[in-house]
Amino acid sequence: MGLLSGCAEVGTSIAVEFIGDVSGKAHPEPWNTGKNHYDPVILTSNEDMVSIKYLSVGPNAEHDQVMQLISDHCHGTYIETSRVELRGYTTVDAECTHDTISSH
């Protein structure tokens, strides 16, 4: 979530809130995108980590699916490093631990 400030109207400042991604771009309303607004969104990832945002309340909550996405991305071994819930959405950050045990 981002916060814009500094807009002024007759000497008073107002704050305008918008839904945005990590780049700060506002998301259009879900009915204008043609995308399923309830699907988890991978915010960032590389071979060592993944960050996913998902709807975490109501009948469309995707907690189990997100944990499976993280497990698949990290080949089953990871540590959850952060979990933040805001207005019905949860963002989970996980660090892949890269299983170092080899079978001989």
Q: What are the pLDDT tens digits along the chain (104 aa)? A: 444 344 433 433 333 333 444 444 444 444 445 566 788 999 999 999 999 999 999 888 999 999 999 999 999 999 999 999 999 999 999 999 976 654 44
The Cα 23–Cα 73 span in angstroms is 23
Residue 103 to residues 27, 47, 100, Cα–Cα distance (Å): 47, 22, 10
Q: Is 42 exposed, middle or buried (0-12, 13-18, 19+ CB in 10 A)?
A: middle
Extents of the domains making up the chain: 37-96
- Quote the tokens at residue 49: 């980590």
The Cα 16–Cα 22 span in angstroms is 17
Q: For the whole prediction, is pTM greater than 0.85?
A: no
- Quote the tokens at residue 45: 């990832």
